Amino acid sequence: MNKKQQIITALRAFVAQRSGMEFANYGDVASFRAEQRAITRDGKEARELLRAVELRDSITADDIIAASKRAYSGRLLIVERADGAVAVDYCTGQYFPTEYRRAVCAVLASALWQRAWQDMPAPTLHHNSETGETVERYRGLRAGDYLRAGFRREYGRGLASRWFS
């Protein structure tokens, strides 16, 4: 199994683990269930982004490792052990059940964003006659707007607005 597939497998296992929510941490059933729904949604989105990264041959293991260092404050790291195995090292911020899947989403979204940025078409130059400024445009849009529109088309408004904004 190559290094990228080892990383994908480790992240998939990390996402699949039980959240460990404790009802005692919540004041009522409604808030507990609302948190459960958010955690379930985060898991679904993490699996969707995992599949997208897995299917893109242009995203390498090194790209995912680099994304883990810059996304989510570097709290989710992909580490290589001395025996060559790959592991996920996560440092909890406030409450593990609500954030561990979000950390995976953030890392994968960062890797996808970086790849999309590198694969953008050549820009066209537009001159703004009011300001005298010449700006680069990608099919009439600024770079970030162009990338966000592409992710919105691919993943839908909800997922794209949470992870690619």
**What confidence tens digit (pLDDT) does each residue in 49-97 have?**
999 999 999 999 999 999 999 999 999 999 999 998 999 999 999 999 9
**Residues 6+ positions from 77 with CB-CB distance below 8 Å:** 68, 69, 88, 89, 90
For position 127, what pLDDT does the model report?
A: 87
pLDDT value at residue 129: 85
Average pLDDT value for residue range 39-49: 98
pLDDT at 84: 86
Decide: 64 and 4 in contact? Cβ < 8 Å.
yes
CB contact at 8 A, 59 and 3: no
Please enumerate in sequence order all residues whose Cβ is within 8 A of that of 4, keeping only pairs 6 or more positions apart, or say none.
54, 59, 60, 61, 64
pLDDT tens digit sequence for 95-134: 999 999 999 999 999 999 999 999 999 999 988 888 889 9
- Is a pLDDT exceeding 80 seen at residue 1? no
Separation between Cα atoms, residue 5 and residue 111, nearest integer Å:
15
Mean of pLDDT values over 130-155: 94
Indicate the pTM of the whole model.
Answer: 0.93
- Report helix angle 3-16 to 96-118, nearest 10: 150
Instruction: Give the mean model confidence (pLDDT) for residues 126-152.
Output: 92
Does residue 35 register a pLDDT over 90?
Answer: yes
